Structure 1
Amino acid sequence: MTALTNTLNPTTSSTLTIRVIKNFEYRTVKNMVLQNVNLETTTVEQLKEIIREKINTTPGFKPFRNVNYDTLKVYTKAHGAKPTNLVINFEHDEDWLLNYEHSALLSYGIENETEISFFNFEAYEKYKEHPDIQWD
């Protein structure tokens, strides 16, 4: 039997895909891959800082620098069902929002190959009330 990708890497050296969401209505999303993330020791606050640093130093993310990114939420876990909304996962707000800054990522059940969205919470709340796409 073949091992699933979420079990191939140890929790001390995992790969995460970060979905940086600049705008919900216009589906302005850019992916960032972080490798060798230690899920046992990296906290939510530390992950946010790592992502912000990459946004501020990676040329391809220059258009994404004018948003106050303050929230992380699991989009999907490896080998799990993808949400029907292409921008954000509206489900699981109670358990997939990473609300506790000092909690380790592993405590949220994050594993290798998890996709996590990074966005502005106020913009998310507005979009959740009226999930209209402005551009198709």
Structure 2
Amino acid sequence: MLLTLPDRHSGYFGLELHSFSEHAGSKRFEINPQKKKRFEIICNVTGLEMCDLAVLTVRLVRSFEHRNFKPVVYKDVNLDQTVEEFISFVTQDVSTRAGLPPPFKKFDYDTMKIIHQPHGAKTNELVMSLEDDETLILRDGCRLRACGVANETELAFFKMADYEKFKANPQTEW
């Protein structure tokens, strides 16, 4: 198999792929067995499939009225896991994460919504947009990728009852 990589001086060059191994979700390709040089590539070689792992920013929304939220970054998130699995993971992580104030750790989050997708326009809302709930709220029983979550997506994690109350009367307090 011939793997084409960009060369910073002369454009592109082709290298023959000699071996392949997979470890912890990343794929290793041995290019030159004589010199034992290795290149680690997270995406598949064909370029037709998306990356398996993503970096997601989860915005923990404690109060819509007071615009009280904290962003938390998660690396190496598997996009093929279900929404329930990811919510369970984030809930458990938030309750034990150092650096978060106790009110954020003990809050009853239950819903996730896409705030921003990579290469898309951002909303002018300070916490999150109140529109397109049917398409942007992550549905139970769905995989993250199927819900539109991709690498570098921003998600809001909040309590649905608080969101519906704020959506009915979107007044902020300062």
TM-score strictly above 0.5: yes
Contact 1:17/1:34, CA 8 A, preserved across alignment = yes
**Which has the larger share of strand?**
2
Find the aligned partners of 2:135 and 2:150 in 1 and give their Cα distance.
Answer: 15
Q: TM-score, normalised by structure 2?
A: 0.68
Aligned residues: 126
- Match among 154, 157, 160 for residue 121 of structure 1: 160
Gaps of 5+ in 1: 1-7
More relative contact order, 1 or 2 (CA 8 Å, 6+ apart): 1
Contact 1:74/1:97, CA 8 A, preserved across alignment = yes
Structure 1 residue 60: Cα displacement? 2.3
Counterpart of 2:65 in structure 1 is: 25
* 2:79 counterpart letter in structure 1: L
Q: TM-score, normalised by structure 1?
A: 0.86
* 1:26 counterpart letter in structure 2: H
Contact 1:20/1:118, CA 8 A, preserved across alignment = yes
1:57-97 alpha-carbon deviations (Å, 9 max, x no partner)? 11322221232111010001012111111111212101111
Find the aligned partners of 1:49 and 1:11 in 2 and give their Cα distance.
Answer: 22
Find the aligned partners of 1:106 and 1:19 in 2 and give their Cα distance.
Answer: 19
Counterpart of 1:92 in structure 2 is: 132
Find the aligned partners of 1:34 and 1:46 in 2 and give their Cα distance.
Answer: 14
Find the aligned partners of 1:11 and 1:98 in 2 and give their Cα distance.
Answer: 20
Sequence identity percentage: 37
Q: Cα RMSD between the aligned structures?
A: 1.5
* 1:37 counterpart letter in structure 2: V
1:57-76 map, 5 Å:
57-61=96-100, 62-76=102-116
Contact 1:16/1:115, CA 8 A, preserved across alignment = yes
Runs of 4+ in 1 over 4 A off after TM superposition: none
Find the aligned partners of 1:92 and 1:46 in 2 and give their Cα distance.
Answer: 23
Counterpart of 2:143 in structure 1 is: 104
* 1:21 counterpart letter in structure 2: V
